[in-house]
Amino acid sequence: MADSHFDIAVIGAGVAGLTCAQQLQQAGYKVVVVEKSRGLGGRLATRRLQGTHADHGVCYLKPKDDRFKALVEKLLERSILQVWTDTIHELDAEGQLIEPPDHAPRYASPTGISTIAKFLATGLNIWLNQRVEAIHLIDQGWALQFEPDERTPITNPASLTASAIVSAIPAPQALTLLEPVADVETLLTRLRSIQFSACISAIAVYSPQQNESALPWKAVTCAHDPAIGWVGLDSTKQNSPSQRVVIVQSTAAFASRHLEASDLQSIGQTLLDRAADLLAPWLKSPEILQVHRWRYAFPINPLAEKFLTANIRSPLLLTGDWCRGNRVESAFLAGLATSAQINSQLQSRSLVENFWETIA
């Protein structure tokens, strides 16, 4: 039977949760990460399909903060990341492709952007397929109860206890989890104020006959289109792609209209048809089409703080990319700040400055 008491339980294995957990584990805390999905990374998502793959959430990294740049440099050294492109084209209101003046490098992984999450998760105790159903204050801190799931390993118990909790999931999901908890009304008020936009991603695989290098773009943003926000030739991230892979991501307005559609395939085809009209006719005829809906793709009004905390007897902190931004970098920095805060509320152990330097 797996251990069932921990110093800290982190709910959510996205970038914020993994960063926070890694930092605290390096400081010597006994940490567990629980994740409702079968994979890591949240929107650092890679879909595997018939000999190829595609990043259907986060498309690339463009670091700004020095701490995030240091992580990117470490990932470059290990060949987890490489420069993908320095140009993201724009489609103007007249349907003309424009090359913007910003030529900063964008980084991607040739093996899929979810590889970054796997790196951040190195050495962590992670329980996948574990959806937290409820949390309760107890004498030792907190008890977490899981929904029954036939995918759950029998070695994992149906609940665990922890001295402290970090919730690193989207604000609406955290709200649902915290509403039954006493004395957190201030947190609930803050969570209710945070709104998210949705997105629908069409993942399309094409025959390899047409030469990708002849195309004048690797990615296009479509700020003036009502349906499409992004079109990316995702296979150009790979070192030796065998097939052409394209990601088409919808606008928030399009997603809000079609998020609950029962036939997602037809919605994905609508996105491809529109991309074909705007960019290249062959886009409407893939060999494979898969569609993914992101309910909480981007926080519309992120908090000014990097975390929220409750004034109760056992530490409870909430964080994510909805704290101080809406990007992977925001989630990473929020995770670092949250680990420092929870450490100060517990034993104030020494936190390493660059935890990734210690990851094997």
The answer to whether residues 129 and 177 belong to one domain is: yes
For residue 68, the model assigns a pLDDT of 96
Distance CA 203, CA 49 (A): 10
For residue 149, the model assigns a pLDDT of 66
* Beta pairing class for 89-91 and 219-221: parallel
Structural domain contains residue 51? no
Domain final residue, candidates 299, 327, 349: 299
* Beta pairing class for 244-250 and 196-206: antiparallel
> Using an 8 Å Cβ cutoff, are 46 and 54 in contact?
yes
The answer to whether residues 201 and 290 belong to one domain is: yes
Please name the residues in contact with 232: beta carbons below 8 A apart, sequence gap of 6 or more. Answer: 59, 218, 219, 220, 246, 247
For residue 1, the model assigns a pLDDT of 40
Strand order in the sheet with 219-221: 97-98, 89-91, 219-221, 228-233, 244-250, 196-206, 288-299
Structural domain contains residue 52? no
For residue 209, the model assigns a pLDDT of 62
The answer to whether residues 31 and 136 belong to one domain is: yes
The answer to whether residues 152 and 227 belong to one domain is: no
pTM value is 0.93
Q: Which domain holds residue 135?
A: 5-42+118-194+303-358
The answer to whether residues 71 and 190 belong to one domain is: no
* Partners of 187 in the β-ladder: none
- Residue reference for tokens 């498309």: 59
The answer to whether residues 201 and 190 belong to one domain is: no
The answer to whether residues 144 and 14 belong to one domain is: yes
For residue 349, the model assigns a pLDDT of 73
Both tokens of residue 51? 């000999």
Report residues of the chain scoring pLDDT below 70.
1-3, 149-157, 209-214, 353-360
Structural domain contains residue 47? no
The CATH number that applies at residue 126 is 3.50.50.60
The answer to whether residues 200 and 291 belong to one domain is: yes
The answer to whether residues 203 and 279 belong to one domain is: yes
Phi, psi of 176 (to 5 degrees): -60, -40
Where are the strands (E) in the chain, listed by range? 5-11, 31-34, 46-49, 52-55, 82-85, 89-91, 97-98, 106-108, 126-127, 132-138, 141-146, 159-167, 196-206, 219-221, 228-233, 244-250, 288-299, 308-309, 316-318
State whether residue 326 is helix, strand or coil.
coil
Structural domain contains residue 48? no
Number of structural domains in the chain: 2
The CATH number that applies at residue 218 is 3.90.660.10
The answer to whether residues 228 and 283 belong to one domain is: yes
Domain final residue, candidates 256, 284, 299: 299
> Using an 8 Å Cβ cutoff, are 126 and 41 in contact?
no
